[in-house]
């Protein structure tokens, strides 16, 4: 399907972790489209964040879709727990396990949307054989693990190539970008063909009374 109107997915990695419920409520009120949750296991990436219990606890704080970015290995044993916690979209990295197609089917078997995440050094070819099975492709524009890193420009070409591939397929597949997205890089991502923008630092900077303006700035 062609590029859709841009959706903003604040990454709660940059929120106040001592007040995640109110933070999710605040970005929901401020006009976010999705809530992006970064799940890190301390060995697939060098950081450790939240498990399914936290996602479940947050679920009642927003009616927006929960976009769960799994940076964990293995993936399959934990998929049911994130489904049960209230995930709407579940994305994972192909490097996390040998059976990417099986994991996609597992996520979809629960009636959830499946996404595949490409690290900066992961080639487009990794997604091509399964593109038609996916609901979302997520291009990492930083190395996963931490918020506040600089956008890696070379990923714009990957976004543009994916835009062409998705349009050629004619299926409804979201094209999401994650990492270093601010009002300037957002514009370039959308120009390259992205239609979902994840942003942590750029949304949560300045405190809750800035969130609406921060989100608006990302829409360009």
- Whether residue 107 contacts residue 79, with contact meaning beta carbons closer than 8 Å, is answered with yes
Q: How far apart, in whole angstroms, are the C-alpha atoms of residue 73 and residue 54?
A: 19
Q: Using the Cα atoms of residue 95, residue 2, residue 149 and residue 15 in order, give the sign of their dihedral.
A: negative
For residue 90, give the nearest of 128, 24, 136 by alpha carbon. Answer: 136
Per CB under 6 A, which region of 26-34, 48-56, 80-88, 175-183 contacts ligand DX5?
175-183
Shortest separation between residue 49's beta carbon and ligand DX5, angstroms: 9
SS3 132: helix
Shortest separation between residue 175's beta carbon and ligand DX5, angstroms: 16
| Site membership for ligand DX5, residue 106 (CB under 6 A) | no
| Site membership for ligand DX5, residue 86 (CB under 6 A) | no
Per CB under 6 A, which region of 48-56, 78-86, 144-152, 153-161 contacts ligand DX5?
144-152
User: Could you give the string, one character per residue 54-83, with x where binding to ligand DX5 holds by CB under 6 A and - elsewhere?
Assistant: ---------------x--------------
Instruction: Tell me whether residue 38 is one of the annotated catalytic residues.
Output: yes
Shortest separation between residue 82's beta carbon and ligand DX5, angstroms: 15
Considering CB under 6 A, how many residues would be counted as binding ligand DX5?
21
Considering CB under 5 A, how many residues would be counted as binding Zn ion?
3
Segments of 119-173 assigned E as strands: 136-140
Shortest separation between residue 140's beta carbon and ligand DX5, angstroms: 7
Q: Which helix (H) or strand (E) holds 16?
A: none
Shortest separation between residue 9's beta carbon and ligand DX5, angstroms: 8
Name the residue nearer to Zn ion (CB basis): 7 or 69: 69
Name the active-site residue from 33, 67, 135, 178: 178
180 makes contact, choosing from ligand DX5, Zn ion, none, with CB < 5 to 8 Å by partner type, with: ligand DX5
Peptide bond into 74 cis (omega under 30): yes
Q: How far apart, in whole angstroms, are the C-alpha atoms of residue 53 and residue 121?
A: 32
Q: Which helix (H) or strand (E) holds 5?
A: none
- List the beta bridge partners of residue 198: 9, 178
Angle at 111 between CA 106 and CA 114, to 5 degrees: 55
SS3 177: strand
Q: Which helix (H) or strand (E) holds 39?
A: strand 35-40
Q: According to CB under 6 A, which one of 52, 94, 115, 145 is a site residue for ligand DX5?
A: 145
Hey, which residues are catalytic here? 38, 178
Q: Which residues bind ligand DX5 (CB under 6 A)?
A: 11, 13-14, 36, 38, 69, 142, 144-145, 147-149, 178-181, 198-202
């Amino acid at each position: 399907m062609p590029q859709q109107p841009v959706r903003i997915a604040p990454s709660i990695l940059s929120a106040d972790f001592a007040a995640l419920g109110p933070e999710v409520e605040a970005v929901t009120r401020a006009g976010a489209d999705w809530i992006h949750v970064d799940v890190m296991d301390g060995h697939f990436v060098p950081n450790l964040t939240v498990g399914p219990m936290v996602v479940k606890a947050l679920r009642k704080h927003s009616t927006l879709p929960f976009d769960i970015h799994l940076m964990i290995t293995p993936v399959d044993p934990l998929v049911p727990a994130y489904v049960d916690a209230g995930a709407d979209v579940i994305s994972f990295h192909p490097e996390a396990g040998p059976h990417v197609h099986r994991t996609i089917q597992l996520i979809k078997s629960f009636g959830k949307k499946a996404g595949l995440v490409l690290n900066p050094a992961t080639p487009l070819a990794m997604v091509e054989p399964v593109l038609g099975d996916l609901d979302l492709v997520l291009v990492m524009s930083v190395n996963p693990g931490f918020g506040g890193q600089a956008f890696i420009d070379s990923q714009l070409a990957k976004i543009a190539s994916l835009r062409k591939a998705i349009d050629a397929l004619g299926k409804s597949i979201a094209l999401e970008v994650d990492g270093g997205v601010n009002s300037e890089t957002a514009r370039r991502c959308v120009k390259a063909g992205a239609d979902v923008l994840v942003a942590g630092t750029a949304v949560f900077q300045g405190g809750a009374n800035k969130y609406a303006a921060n989100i608006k700035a990302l829409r360009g």
